[in-house]
Structure 1
């Protein structure tokens, strides 16, 4: 199983790690830490040295109750970061965490290789056509509503069945437009309660029926720290444990704040 990133085929038969780089002032865990150029480059260097295959750059927080910013404001945060990173680390494979087609378009024009959309095209109707034109790998996440409303939309008759149906429709649409490289993210924490998140983890292998790469993003999320009665800053051990479970159930990409620990997790998993 491979994806084409700027002409390079990335083999996902061995799981890969995606490091999270938030260039926002209000991310739930690391907001504001990487705003200065020096700090941003230091963090990117650390993630690459620790073994990250991808760096996921996000200019807008999608935590519950967050305030939506415009595509123009997001571009002001993301494009300088993309330019700075690729100037200093030209081999870095950058993913852009955005639901705006305009941000996707501009980011790829500046050298980004992947688009990571929390709404799978639901928040910007131009996104699918844009991805089809750009022909870059597209991460489609399951979410209901918007980040501002999603926590009020957690009622499901059958959680797994409805998520699978959602992906079936999204995949069919993408394929009809000629989008080749698709990656699925079941959306832990997005329009799901803590119990629903654990139900999703218990049955994660069901998504292998799509025969597409599976990305898991549970790093330091509330399903972990609320269950353990700790803070997000204290949730690394829980994150590593659930990442290991996800690998046993077919995850090919782990999206994390802590790259070194995730890479070690993958190495041990491969030994098994």
Structure 2
């Protein structure tokens, strides 16, 4: 028997609050319509644009996931955009060329990001650029633990960017308050158990393949729906392991096993992922798709493109934005949200 799956992608997002337009993830944006997709396991796919008020009983579970207000995540308010600062304690990061491989420099820059207004600082000790090789657990811990420990001691909210269970355990013990796993807890057989026992929230990211192979001819039937399905399955595995949905955020993994067109489709259809019922993290900072669109730019020259994609994400309701340039991202988001506030006031008046 053919199996059918239904998806709802909010459409017609607006700051105008109308009774027939539900709020997306608790606000501030409402949506008047949904792109309603039905996909069967024989490969057939149908899309229709349906008014939100006209959605039927079979749509209600998806609709409830879209509109349910998000709880705070690692102490961060999910009703407004927030910024996660990136601290790569690696010798081979694609974005900064190993400038923070020295622990003192990494701590200094992490503190600067926090003081600039980052809601959380993401510390990682293994490069995940295309072609990067894995780092042994002990070496990864040697790199990240002094940074996590010192930043946490100075009051910084820290997440650990790793998929190795032993690193996750040690980083949480050192003060990390969230886990950011590019493998969605698939990369280590102990990860689910470790995260469940830790009590801290986790960010599940989609990646096709591994960093060594992910950019070798990635393919999808429908990139947004395929990524959605993967993340939904990983959420179910987390729930089964005892990790509450309120402790889970998702990241569609722009740049991880995707072509330029895949990345653009994901960015355009980001609102779909609110249907998972979790906050969304968007990591697009300095990524190569910006150069593919704008010319052969070095990573540090991709700031304007990063800001454009960040604002596009917030316009689709993305709550958390992972960036290298905290000051610039916050400035852009603050201006955007100030304009939004005027639009909301005009709607009330």
Report what 1:51 is aligned to. Answer: 117
Matched, 1:241 2:305: no
Matched, 1:150 2:214: yes
Report what 2:225 is aligned to. Answer: 161
Report what 2:325 is aligned to. Answer: 258
- The answer (yes or no) to whether the contact 1:54–1:93 under 8 Å persists in 2 is yes
1:13-28 matches, cutoff 5 A: 13-28=79-94
Report what 2:71 is aligned to. Answer: 2
- The answer (yes or no) to whether the contact 1:60–1:98 under 8 Å persists in 2 is yes
Give unmatched runs, 5+ long, in structure 1. Answer: none
- The answer (yes or no) to whether the contact 1:99–1:121 under 8 Å persists in 2 is yes
**TM-score for the superposition, normalised by structure 2:** 0.74
Return the index of the structure with the highest Cα Rg: 2
Structure 1 moving runs of 4+ over 3 Å: none
If asked which structure has higher relative contact order (CA below 8 Å, sep 6+), I would say 1
- The answer (yes or no) to whether the contact 2:86–2:123 under 8 Å persists in 1 is yes
Deviation at 1:185, TM superposition (A): 0.3
Deviation at 1:11, TM superposition (A): 1.5
Matched, 1:267 2:334: yes
Q: 2:132 aligns with which of 66, 75, 82?
A: 66
3 and 142 in structure 1: CA distance in 2 versus 1, 3 angstrom threshold: same
Q: 2:242 aligns with which of 175, 178, 182?
A: 178
1:216-231 matches, cutoff 5 A: 216-229=282-295, 230-231=297-298
Report what 2:170 is aligned to. Answer: 106
Report what 2:96 is aligned to. Answer: 30
CA RMSD of aligned residues (A): 1.3
- The answer (yes or no) to whether the contact 1:22–1:31 under 8 Å persists in 2 is no
Give unmatched runs, 5+ long, in structure 2. Answer: 1-69, 341-349
1:129-140 matches, cutoff 5 A: 129-140=193-204
Paired residues, number: 267
**TM-score for the superposition, normalised by structure 1:** 0.94
Deviation at 1:196, TM superposition (A): 0.7
CA offsets per residue over residues 93-118 of structure 1, 9 Å max, x none? Answer: 10000011110001001111110000
